Amino acid sequence: MLLHEIADYTVGERSSSLGGEVVHHAKRAVLDWFAATIPGGLLAPAAMLRKALAADIGQGAARLYPSWERTTSRTAALINGTASHIIEFDDIFRDAIYHPGSPVVAAALAVAQERRATGDAFARAVIVGYEISTRIGAVVNPAHYEYWHTTGTVGSLGAAAAAATVLELDRDELAHALATAGTFAAGLQQAFRSDAMSKPLHAGRAAEAGVLAAMAAAEGVTGALDILDGARGFGNAMSERCEWAGAVEGLGKHYNITKLTVKNHACCGHTFPAIDGVLALRRDHQLTPESVKVIRVATYRTALDVTGSWTATTPFEAKFSLPYVVATALMYGSVRLDAFTETRLSDPTLKDLMGRIELEVDSEIDGQFPGRRAAHVTVATVDGEALTRHQSTSKGDPDDPLTDKELQDKYRELVEPVIGGEAAQALLEALWALDKLEVVDLPMGKVQTSPGGVIGQAR
């Protein structure tokens, strides 16, 4: 049975001999998660959840970030998982159209802190959660992504696997945890086709669902063990023609956690090839808004379905507007947190440049999705030149990864304004030594400032 095969891998990974590269990439994943979570924890809707669940604060051994307040594992998973997805800077597994870190790390960390687990146990839980959920996500996509948000759906299974690993569930208990998580899975695409707060809640709810499923299984709660591949199960209900052998292929041999996309822009990942293409043309030809007549972006259909909007009146809308982020890249040379301030959103020069952008689907590029995300960018200048760039990958993709230094620079950029340089450095050093920690109660400095003015609060 499929879930028992997955459970066998999960139990075995608790004591396997993991290679140094795999462990290193697990540390990178956790470091990147903190980079997104610490600033996100001060923003809506995470800050609102903190108030809504105030009765849980101080009741438990898990931590909230960046406040470092104690709470229960379920509440920590929910709020931290939500926080990690707010500023749109969390990791991606490209083939699954999925942000694994948000639900998996949030769930693993919450349970590890509640159980006072070692750093090694936590790291193994993260690895397990990534490996299982990325494979399931690749099996059900791209058809699943037509209506569902993979981070909210498949993320529940990754979170359950991670939490169950920390709890040291046996084979049968673990299978039932996954089965229960499978029926908890939810998250509709409509949630991020409008200016709403639901999208980051998908990640948090998936983390919480996974923790609950694992805790319930530990007490004997059973689930439908054919929840993925049954006639009325996840695959048939939420995808098409699933080849479930792919969900266990390479488990314990080839590690997807070593093939992540680490975001280099603070917006939807579907915009990245176009952004990088425009940045390359800007650099090579010293382009300015005044020198540009038209920018044509040809890319895959899903990118236009999700981000092909010219409406960019709020930070959320702007992060899902390919014209806005492409115009921003050409004007300012980057798309970081300051791209979504009120000043930028109301900039008339930027809005004028957006009006000179044209979008279209490229059938060849579309056929490569989701295994490859590409864009063909053409800039027609006012002098009559036609400058072209085929961007076959994005900076941060496994084909062109961020170095450890670049990842640390991203972390410092996002974390230091919130907790200060000294505390950020102490946490950074602890994260690089993650597998050696006796207890995963990671240090946290006092919150010094809110990033709200830079990132922009969700409405």
Angle at 67 (CA atoms; ends 314, 446), nearest 5 degrees: 105
What residue type is 441 in one-letter code?
Answer: D
Cα-flanking dihedrals φ and ψ of residue 457, to 5°?
-75, 140
**Contact in structure between 67 and 49 (CB atoms under 8 Å):** no
Q: Residue 284 burial (CB < 10 Å; 0-12/13-18/19+)?
A: exposed
Q: Which residue has the tokens 């499929």?
A: 2
DSSP state of 247: G
Question: Which residues of the chain carry a pLDDT beneath 70?
Answer: 449-459
CA–CA distance, 189 with 194 (Å, rounded to integer): 10
Assess contact for 315 and 452: CB atoms under 8 A.
Answer: no
pLDDT digits (tens, 9 = 90+) for 338-372: 999 999 999 999 999 999 999 999 999 999 999 99
* Integer Cα distance of 96 and 105 in angstroms: 17
Q: Which residue from 372, 382, 234 is spatially nearest to 294, judged by alpha carbons?
A: 382
**What is the three-class DSSP state of 73?**
helix
* Residues 67, 65: Cα–Cα separation, whole Å: 5
- Confirm if 56 and 75 have CB atoms less than 8 A apart: yes
Cis amide prior to 142 (ω within 30 degrees): yes
Instruction: Confirm if 242 and 18 have CB atoms less than 8 A apart.
Output: no
- Residues in the chain, total: 459
CA-to-CA distance for 214 and 218, rounded, in angstroms?
6
Torsion of CA 399, 34, 90, 191, to 10 degrees: 170
As a whole number of angstroms, the distance between CA 391 and CA 312 comes to 24
Sheet holding 357-361, edge to edge: 357-361, 292-299, 375-381, 386-391
Q: What is the pLDDT of residue 450?
A: 53
Residue with the two structure tokens 């864009």: 375
- DSSP-H helix ranges across 232-379: 234-238, 272-285, 301-307, 315-319, 322-332, 342-345, 348-354, 363-368
Asked if residue 327 lies in contact with residue 350, where contact means CB atoms within 8 angstroms, the answer is: yes
CA distance 453 to 110: 29
Report yes or no: 165 and 13 within 8 Å, Cβ to Cβ.
yes
Bond before 289 cis per omega within 30 degrees: no
What pLDDT does 449 receive? 63
CA neighbor of 166 nearest in space, from 281, 49, 10: 10
3-state secondary structure of 358: strand
Give the DSSP letter string of 285-323.
Answer: HT--GGGEEEEEEEE-HHHHHHHB----SSHHHHHTBHH
Q: Which helix (H) or strand (E) holds 244?
A: none
Residue 444's pLDDT is 80
For helices 150-166 and 119-140, angle between their N-to-C axes, nearest 10 degrees: 150
Q: State whether residue 453 is helix, strand or coil.
A: helix
Backbone conformation region of residue 115, classed left if phi is above 0, alpha if psi is from -120 to 50, else beta: alpha
Instruction: Report pLDDT digits (tens) over 147-172.
Output: 999 999 999 999 999 999 999 999 99
Euclidean distance between the first and final Cα of the chain, in Å? 46
Instruction: Find the helix or strand (DSSP H, E) in which 217 lies.
Output: helix 198-218
pLDDT at position 452 is: 47
